[in-house]
Amino acid sequence: MKKKKTVIVALIVGIIAIATLFILSKESKQIIKFESAIASKGSIINTVTATGTVAPIDKVDVGTQVSGVINKIYVDFNSSVKRGQLLAELDKSTLKARVIQAQADLASAQNELTYQEQNLNRAKKLYETSMVSEVDFESAQYKYNSAKTSVDRLKSALEQADVNLSYASIYSPIDGVILARNVEEGQTVAASFSTPTLFSIAKDLTKMKVQANVDEADIGQVKLDQKVTFSVDAFPDDNFEGKVTQIRLNPTVSANVVTYQVIIEAPNPELKLMPGLTASVSIITKNVDDVVLVPAKALRFTPDADASSQYIVKNFVRDTTMRRRNMGSAMNQEPTQRMSQGNSQNMRSRSEAGTFSQNGANAERFKQMKKSLESVWIISGDTLIQRMVRTGMENGTMVEIQRGLKEGDSIVIASTKVQKNVKTTEAKSPFMPQMPRRSGGR
């Protein structure tokens, strides 16, 4: 009975061994593949992006200072006009009647003034001979002064009536192009409370401006005379250039978002830029040329633990730390440990006196240098080497390398694991049903 159990156990162990051999007949192996990039020279720019609206640099709204009916319009949209050119006329009949009325009132006042002047002269002579009382003389003088005042007042009224009549003719104040015509012939315009706008005239469409709204987080980077590139949906394949000419200090707050308006002037010789177009603006805040550039993701790459199974990994930080520890141990064995406490204190005092003033500047310089230190990885044969580099400008896609790499160096930017099946044996399980072999023919 015991011998029978032993045979059964041996049989089970054998079955497990055969099954394990069958499962391992096809082993799975992962191979790490690295994606690399070449350090190359080029230009890198930092930009502030914003949206804005295209508008003429100089625009004048032409209105009327008198109320009336539009009698005649002499220009239309897009008409080129000269300074002093007649644009439109209001109905002048009412205004002419007011002029005639003012002229009649003035003539009547002048007649009254002549009469009162003669009356004053007579009263003066009679007063000098004591033929009239002083009261009568003063009354005559008062009437003369009143008549003279009326003449002056009616002269002003006549002048105002003439001016109002001249306002019925609308003239262009500048050379330019009619952008907007807001009235039609026969329309009544009222100038009782505000001057109605009849026409909008752009002075020169060969020079345009973009009114860009820059976020408060970016406005500190924007300076006068910075170069600007922008595009408009009307001409998606064209890039336009300009420069910053004004940064307006008055903020605009909308939905708790604060923006500042930046004025950008741009030439428009082909008249492609039209008022009202929406512009996508890029303000160039920094620009460097002919520098070594690498993809930004190269600085974010770090090999995982599986890389050590295929490559010799040389970690700069780890190796440097070990060297520093070894150097520290060696220095601890130097005879300088046997210096007296008094001499050490004197040297410390002299050192502090000499370096205290430089401590702040050195600390700040070290902080900036440390901030710009990054690392990249390079493959050399079967070795994966970490190299420290000093970075400069970056735009989110590319990074400037100031030190540590040269043009043409190959760096790792990413890695992927590829599953590879290696067929080691053709072993078949003796416990699985076998497929019948197909003969060569019937």
Average pLDDT rounded to a whole number, residues 9-15: 70
Phi-psi region of 103 (alpha: psi -120 to 50; beta: other; left: phi over 0): alpha
For residues 279 and 118, give the distance between their C-alpha atoms in angstroms, rounded to a whole number.
Answer: 77
pLDDT > 90: what percent of the chain? Answer: 57
Sheet holding 59-63, edge to edge: 59-63, 197-202, 176-181, 80-81
User: Helix or strand or coil: residue 88?
Assistant: strand
The residues facing 411 across adjacent strands are 37
Q: Which two tokens stand for residue 165?
A: 């009549």
Least confident among 26-35, 211-220, 251-260, 277-286: 26-35
Least confident among 3-7, 40-44, 215-219, 434-438: 434-438
| Residue partners of 387: CB distance under 8 A and separation at least 6 | 316, 375, 376, 377, 378, 404, 405
pLDDT score recorded for residue 13: 67
Which ranges of 129-242 does DSSP label H, i.e. alpha helix?
A: 134-167
CATH architecture of 59-197: Beta Barrel (2.40)
| Residue partners of 294: CB distance under 8 A and separation at least 6 | 37, 39, 376, 398, 399, 401, 405, 411
Look at 187 and 336; give whichever has higher pLDDT: 187
pLDDT score recorded for residue 362: 55
pLDDT score recorded for residue 308: 67
pLDDT score recorded for residue 379: 84
Confirm whether 47-56+204-289 and 59-197 share one CATH topology.
no
| Residue partners of 276: CB distance under 8 A and separation at least 6 | 53, 54, 55
What DSSP string describes 266-313? EE-TT----TT-EEEEEEEEEEEEEEEEEETHHHH----GGGGGTSEE
Tell how strand 312-314 and strand 383-394 pair up. Answer: parallel
Closest CA to 49 of 397, 395, 400: 395
Least confident among 101-115, 299-313, 323-337, 384-398: 323-337
Q: List the chain domain ranges.
A: 47-56+204-289, 59-197
Kindly report the number of other CB atoms within 10 A of residue 72's CB atom: 14
pLDDT > 70: what percent of the chain? Answer: 75
pTM value > 0.85: no
DSSP class of residue 112?
A: H
The residues facing 37 across adjacent strands are 411
Distance of CA 104 to the CA centre of its chain: 65
Kindly report the number of other CB atoms within 10 A of residue 291's CB atom: 18
Tell how strand 68-73 and strand 373-380 pair up. Answer: unpaired
pLDDT score recorded for residue 11: 74
For residues 276 and 54, give the distance between their C-alpha atoms in angstroms, rounded to a whole number.
Answer: 5
pLDDT score recorded for residue 151: 96
pLDDT score recorded for residue 431: 45
User: Helix or strand or coil: residue 224?
Assistant: coil
Cβ contact 180:22 at 8 Å: no
Average pLDDT rounded to a whole number, residues 54-58: 96
pLDDT score recorded for residue 382: 80
112-136 burial code (b ≥16 CB/10 A, e <16): bbeebeebbeebeeebeeeebeeee
Half-sphere exposure of 384 (CA within 13 A, CB side): 26
Cβ contact 377:266 at 8 Å: no
17 pLDDT more than 80: no
User: Helix or strand or coil: residue 184?
Assistant: coil
Mean per-residue pLDDT of the chain: 82
Q: Residues 75-126: pLDDT tens digits?
A: 999 999 999 999 999 999 999 999 999 999 999 999 999 999 999 999 988 8
The residues facing 243 across adjacent strands are 227, 265
pLDDT score recorded for residue 371: 56
Least confident among 82-86, 247-251, 414-418: 414-418
What DSSP string describes 320-340? HHHHHHHHHHHHHTSGGGG--
pLDDT score recorded for residue 353: 46
DSSP class of residue 129?
A: T
| Residue indicated by tokens 């502090």 | 352
pLDDT score recorded for residue 132: 83
pLDDT score recorded for residue 430: 47
pLDDT score recorded for residue 356: 44
Q: Which two tokens stand for residue 158?
A: 């006549």
428 pLDDT more than 60: no
Q: Residues 123-177: pLDDT tens digits?
A: 988 888 888 888 988 999 999 999 999 999 999 999 999 999 999 999 999 999 9
Look at 395 and 337; give whichever has higher pLDDT: 395
What does the chain come to in residues? 442
| Residue partners of 18: CB distance under 8 A and separation at least 6 | 429, 430, 431
Give ∠ CA 240-244-245 in degrees, rounded to 5. 125
Q: State the first-to-last Cα distance of the chain, in angstroms, to the nearest integer.
A: 52
Query: How does residue 380 score in pLDDT terms, banded at 50, 70 and 90?
Result: confident
Look at 194 and 288; give whichever has higher pLDDT: 288
CATH superfamily of 47-56+204-289: Efflux pump adaptor protein, beta barrel domain (2.40.30.170)
Least confident among 9-23, 24-38, 348-362, 386-400: 348-362
pLDDT score recorded for residue 438: 46
Q: Residues 184-234: pLDDT tens digits?
A: 999 999 887 777 899 999 999 999 999 999 999 999 999 999 999 999 999
pLDDT score recorded for residue 416: 83
